[in-house]
Every structure is written in structure tokens, then in C-alpha cells.
Amino acid sequence: MDKKRTFLKNLNLALFFCVILAISSSAGAADVLVIGDIKLKPVAEVVSSLKRSASFSIIVKSPGEVRDNLAGVVTREGAKAVVALGTDAVYISLSLPESVPVIYGLVINPPETKRKNITGIYMATPVEKYLAVIEKYFPRIEKVGLIYERAGQRPVSAAPLSSHLEVQYAGNPYEFLESIKRLDKSIDALLLVPEKNLITSSSLQRAYIFSFTEKVPLIGISEKHVKEGSLMSVVFDIDDMGRQLGDLIHRVMMHGTAMGSPQFPPEKYKVYFNKQTAESMGIRVEPELLKVAERVYP
């Protein structure tokens, strides 16, 4: 009887420790903590892409779930890296200790921070990519105007030195419109860049009026701009961005740090084109563009 009691006691202890071990193992089950609001379509698409292709375990939390205790969540989950998708998520992630690698995505330009253990994929299309598309499909557009925010941070995607560019600076939407007027006689097109303090809905509408009055085409930031009347836009491919972000995360996980890793623009893009705008401004278009464009607005 004593042997039976001893056996049952040892069995219960063994089961108890197995349960404790299982609980402790599940508590740190995620290699990567992703911060992002999956109610937003771009975030949901990138997360889906990561889950399909990732060789590491992922847990997703919304910004609201981790805002007040991100470091504690990282510790509890045993996450080796944090992926921040969107401006709010990136801002929250910058509060983490420097020892935690941060990889960002779905932000227009690299975040302004002194943090070193950070890398990511930014959405802004590099100016040189636009220049390459213009040279290939719009050979008669020789001089492109560009307006940056005065005293603003120059993004990694800033304009290269080029004889094809005429650069101006502005401090507000009014100065943005005045800069367009100054550029009028010296440029063949105006390339919009994502300067949020310059391009408001009001200043953009007035820029369109100027564009069609003076026959100076706007080159937009998004497909929406092309639909509204911009000549074209070159926009990142979100599916490929998810793949690219997954590769970057894998690289960071392999090295255990993001320090020294450059910050990247997208690798693949889609071209959107407004045929009616080109025709109304007398702009000759290479026929090949109609075949390669993701969408042509008539």
C-alpha cells in the first residue's frame, strides 16, 4: 500500500512539473512581436504575407494593447525582435531598450530617431526611380521640378544630384504654391513628394488647377492622385514589400541585431498612368507604358 501511495505521489508531482513546463514554454512562444492594427488593410496584407513566408513564430498585437507596457509584453512573449507597422506602432516601439531590434514598415520615410538598433522598409518611392520611369516612357519631359519642406528632414529617398531636377523649398502650403509658380517656366513636370505640411487637400487642388492651366503635368504620390488628374505615379508593390520585410526580419534574427543594417526602399513598384491627362497636355507617351502600367485611367 505504501509503495502504491509513493508511486501515485511521484506521478502527481511529475504531472505537476509537466504542466508548469508547458505553461512556461507557451509564455515565450513568439520569436517576433508584430505591432500593427490589422483592421487596416495594408497592415493585414503585410501580416498575412509574413505569416505565409516567415521561418519564425509571430504574435500580433495592436498599438493599443502594448502602448503602456511594450517592454513587458516583449519580455513576457520572449520576443527576440519587434516589427512595427505604421507610424503609431513605430512611435511606440522607439521606447524599447536599445538591446531590442526594431524593424519598421508601412511608414513613408525612415523615422527621426537616434536609435541605432533599428532598420526597416520605407514606402516613399526614391526620386531616381521616378526619373528612370520618366526617361524611359516620357522622353520629352527633360526638366522635373521638386519642392521639399524647408528645414524638414531630408528622407533617404531624397533627390540625387541631377541636371534633370530643379529643387525648391517651402515652409507651408502657401509657399508651396508660390514655389510652383517660380518653377513654371523652367520645368516640364512637377514631381510631388510626401511632405505632409505642404501638400494639403486645398493646396493640391490649386496645384491641379495650375497644372492644367499652364500645361505642366503633376506626377503624383499615389494611385489616387493619378485618378484625380496626375500624369502618373510610381507606387510600391505591397505584396512584395511583405516578402522583402520578411527577408529583412530573417536577417536581423540571424544576426541578433539591426545595428549596421541599412534602411531600404521597396524593391518592386507599380506604375499608374492617366491617359486623358497626357492627351490634354499634348504629352507623347511610349506605347510600352500602356502594357506595363498596373492601371491606365482613360
Residue range 178-230, pLDDT digits in tens? 999 999 889 999 999 988 889 999 999 999 999 999 999 999 999 999 999 99
- List, for residues 66-75, the tens digit of each pLDDT value: 999 999 999 9
Q: Alpha helix (H) ranges present in 200-237?
A: 201-214, 223-228
Q: Are residues 144 and 157 in the same domain?
A: yes
113/206 same-domain check: no
What was the pLDDT predicted at 150? 78
Looking at the structure, do residues 139 and 213 belong to the same domain, yes or no?
Answer: yes
* Residue-level pLDDT at 253: 92
Which strand ranges, in their side-by-side order, compose the sheet holding 269-274? 165-170, 144-149, 189-191, 218-220, 232-236, 269-274, 295-297
Kindly give the parts of the chain with pLDDT less than 50.
7-8, 11, 13-27, 155-156
Residue 82 sits in the same domain as residue 141: no
Domain that includes residue 65, residue range? 29-123+239-255
Sign of the torsion formed by the C-alpha atoms of 165, 168, 172 and 178: negative
Which set of grid coordinates corresponds to residue 236? 510600391
**Total-model pTM:** 0.81
| Residue 8 confidence (pLDDT) | 46
Q: Same domain for 191 and 280?
A: yes
Kindly give, in sequence order, each residue whose CB lies less than 8 Å from that of residue 135, ignoring residues fewer than 6 positions away: 164
Tell me: do 290 and 163 sit in the same domain.
yes
Domain of residue 66, CATH code:
3.40.50.2300
